[in-house]
Structure 1
Amino acid sequence: MENTENKKLTVVLGASPNPERYSNMAVNRLQAKGHPVVAIGKREATIGNTPIIATHPPLEKVDTVTMYLNPIAQKEYYDYILQLQPKRIIFNPGAENPELEEIAREHNIQPVEACTLVLLSTNQF
């Protein structure tokens, strides 16, 4: 039986149904590694069996928010991210945001500038 202790509930912000987008690949790879995923995007769609939701659902025990939005598009999610109280926010390439990184630090959330796909492929997730 697989150990579920190290599985990390991950919110993918900026999820896209387009299989060529990195957010789409991240949802698939996170699931392949057994991590539960909540995909949030601009419009409702699916990635495989995972629904992309366009709302801000209340969630508990979020380990990671992985960001696939540019800093301007991130602003509408600031309060939501703080409500989730994740342990960390991964700012994927192109999503780096010094303002949100500082807000995260002030709320004891670890900002990480990294690529989720690389972290997963090198078992550092």
Structure 2
Amino acid sequence: MTTKQTLVLGASLKPIRYSYMAINRLVQKKQPVVAIGLREGRVAGVQIDTGFPKYENIDTVTLYLNAQNQKPYYEYLIELRPRRIIFNPGTENPELYKLLKQANIEIDNACTLVLLSTNTY
């Protein structure tokens, strides 16, 4: 497994949300993680930021926003220059795929929770 930093985009403070579960699982697996959501707070000791923070060394972005809610982040995601972006179920976005391919960013249609539980993250 990689030990490079993961950004959870669409992070929630609600325990029933998959983004909340993903943050917890990433922390359990000792993966460095940062998070952006609509509200600031903490999940598993991880600060949830709002807006467009300047992060360094993001290897993976895991998306928990539907295609419409991803639009404000297009330019931001490309500027982060992650190695890959994981599109969790319900986040598929052909428009963003095209932009990411042009920027040589890997697209992974997968479930972060499944990848972590099968040690294929």
Same fold by TM-score greater than 0.5: yes
Partner of 2:58: 62
| Structure 2: stretches of 5+ with no match in the other structure | none
Pair 1:27-2:26 in alignment? no
Matched pairs, number = 121
| Structure 1: stretches of 5+ with no match in the other structure | none
- CA distance in structure 2 between the aligned counterparts of 1:77 and 1:43, rounded to whole angstroms: 16
Q: Secondary structure at the match of 1:14?
A: strand
Partner of 2:14: 18
Q: Secondary structure at the match of 1:86?
A: coil
Q: Of 37, 40, 44, which residue of structure 1 is paired with 2:40?
A: 44
Q: Give the % identical residues.
A: 55
Partner of 1:82: 78
- CA distance in structure 1 between the aligned counterparts of 2:2 and 2:113, rounded to whole angstroms: 17
RMSD over aligned Cα, in angstroms? 1.1
How far the C-alpha of 1:60 sits from its partner, in A, is: 1.6
- CA distance in structure 1 between the aligned counterparts of 2:2 and 2:65, rounded to whole angstroms: 26
Partner of 2:98: 102
Q: Of 107, 111, 115, which residue of structure 2 is paired with 1:115?
A: 111
Tell me if the contact between 2:40 and 2:50 (Cα under 8 Å) persists in the aligned partners. Answer: yes
Deviation >2 Å, runs of 4+: none
How far the C-alpha of 1:90 sits from its partner, in A, is: 0.2
Q: Secondary structure at the match of 1:29?
A: helix
Tell me if the contact between 2:52 and 2:76 (Cα under 8 Å) persists in the aligned partners. Answer: yes
Tell me if the contact between 2:23 and 2:44 (Cα under 8 Å) persists in the aligned partners. Answer: no
Tell me if the contact between 2:8 and 2:64 (Cα under 8 Å) persists in the aligned partners. Answer: yes
Q: With structure 1 as the length reference, what TM-score do the two structures score? A: 0.93
Matched to 1:71, the amino acid is: A
Q: Secondary structure at the match of 1:59?
A: coil
